[in-house]
Amino acid sequence: MRVTFSANGKPVEADDVWEGESLLYVLRERVGLPGSKNACEQGECGSCTVYLDGVPVCSCLVAAGQVQGREVRTVEGLAGPDGELGLVQQAFVDAGAVQCGFCTPGLLVQTDALLAADPQPSDTDIREALSGNLCRCTGYEKIMDAVRLASARTCARGAEK
């Protein structure tokens, strides 16, 4: 089957999609957006998190056919218009929260969603928002630092307007 949807604001079309193919597979292998990672294929780790119509979802659990005519935003879509790192992405780099990088795409999307809903989350709110994202490298403290830094920068940017 053919699946047509919007990825990061651009129309895309994937041909010869099998009914049971995941959105994750289509993004990585058919559309050329490899940022979302394939770690567990069970929706347990969060590495494949993307936005689907503005809501974070584990793309390994979404059948490709379900995205027909819908909007998908991946970690690549968090970058600026000229490809520069987005605010959340830069905060993760600056805080040293990127180790092996496997969990990072999902954490970035989830952090972006959290800060869009609450620009000044408490540590409890951060932990809750990221509870579906597993990281085996950092021990989470650097990730917490990155989210706090992104929050501070988001608020500072809002104050400048």
Task: List pLDDT tens digits, range 5-58.
Answer: 999 999 999 999 998 899 999 999 999 999 999 999 999 999 999 999 999 999
Task: List pLDDT tens digits, range 136-154.
Answer: 887 799 999 999 999 999 9
What is the rounded distance in angstroms from the CA atom of residue 8 to the CA atom of residue 23? 14
Starting at the edge strand that comes first in sequence, how are the strands of the sheet with 10-14 ordered?
A: 10-14, 3-7, 71-73, 49-52, 55-58
- pLDDT at residue 77, rounded to an integer: 97
CA 151 from centroid of its chain's CA atoms: 17
Task: List pLDDT tens digits, range 60-70.
Answer: 999 999 999 99
pTM of the model: 0.95
